[in-house]
Amino acid sequence: MKPCQNCQAVIDEYILDKQLEPLRELTVDDFNVCGNCATVVPDACVECGGAVYVPRDSNGTPDYCPACRSDLIERTGHDPGWHLDTASS
């Protein structure tokens, strides 16, 4: 049993697991927050159309789900961050 990093509540892995269900490749072991503090937005990933996880330090909904982000890091060798690079200049 580990406490939530955000609200210090004991993490209920059953609830968190339900919360994370739409995400690919991620399990409760990858998170240090409870179900209340984990935000998942369905159908928001620009790569796979799947659910994205909203990190606590993110402003706005990420464009990539964690699985696609790590795919991109593997493919390109650099971290795209959570947001699609919209270089408009």
Per CB under 5 A, residues contacting Zn ion are 4, 6-7, 34, 36-37, 45, 47-48, 50, 65, 68
Minimum separation from the CB atom of position 27 to Zn ion (A): 16
Q: Give the nearer residue to Zn ion in terms of CB position, either 23 or 89.
A: 23
Phi, psi of 73 (to 5 degrees): -60, -40
Query: What's the min distance (Å) between Cβ of 34 and Zn ion?
Result: 3
Longest pairwise C-alpha distance within the chain: 48
- Do the Cβ atoms of 45 and 51 come closer than 8 Å? yes
Q: Closer to Zn ion by CB, 37 or 40: give it.
A: 37
For Zn ion, the closer of residues 7 and 84 by Cβ is 7
**Residue 53 C-beta: closest distance to Zn ion, Å:** 10
Could you tell me how many residues make up the chain?
Answer: 89
Q: What does each C-alpha distance from 59 to 54, 56, 87 come to in angstroms?
A: 9, 8, 18
